[in-house]
Amino acid sequence: QVQLAESGGGSVQPGGSLRLSCIPSGDTYSRCCMGWFRQAPGKEREGIAAIFAAGGTSYTVDSMKGRFTISIDRAKNILYLDMNGLKPEDTAMYYCAANGSWPSLLKSVMTGTGPADWGQGTQVTVSS
């Protein structure tokens, strides 16, 4: 099993930026792939992006492209989500997830559902 610890959330004004971080621990070698999700109050969880832990291949949901960028520092083993041009509708709890299957994680990112190891989340609030 993999434990995931997210950080970097906070309150920001519209148009602002944040960088979220996720540090995995435990059986990380069994998880090839990691992703970011979010869930706003009263709404279903939605996927944002996924990336191979070894780097290289990544996928970002179309609606998130241009503002959200997923990346991974392989040396430090830290997953990032850079968020720019934040809007009030981006307010949500943001979660990172790990999965041992790229097709499975992709499906989860596309649908917002599916099996994975989950972190506790970090809150992002965008308001003026």
Q: pLDDT tens for residues 1-55? A: 889 999 999 999 999 999 999 999 888 777 899 999 999 999 999 999 999 988 7
Please answer whether residues 51 and 34 qualify as being in contact, where contact means their C-beta atoms are separated by less than 8 angstroms: yes
Amino acid making up residue 77 = N
Confidence tier at 81 by pLDDT (50, 70, 90): very high
Rounded-to-integer distance, Cα 82 and Cα 18, Å: 6
Rounded-to-integer distance, Cα 128 and Cα 76, Å: 34
Confidence tier at 62 by pLDDT (50, 70, 90): very high
Please answer whether residues 43 and 37 qualify as being in contact, where contact means their C-beta atoms are separated by less than 8 angstroms: no
Look at residue 57 in the predicted model and tell me its pLDDT.
92
Q: pLDDT tens for residues 85-102? A: 999 999 999 999 999 999
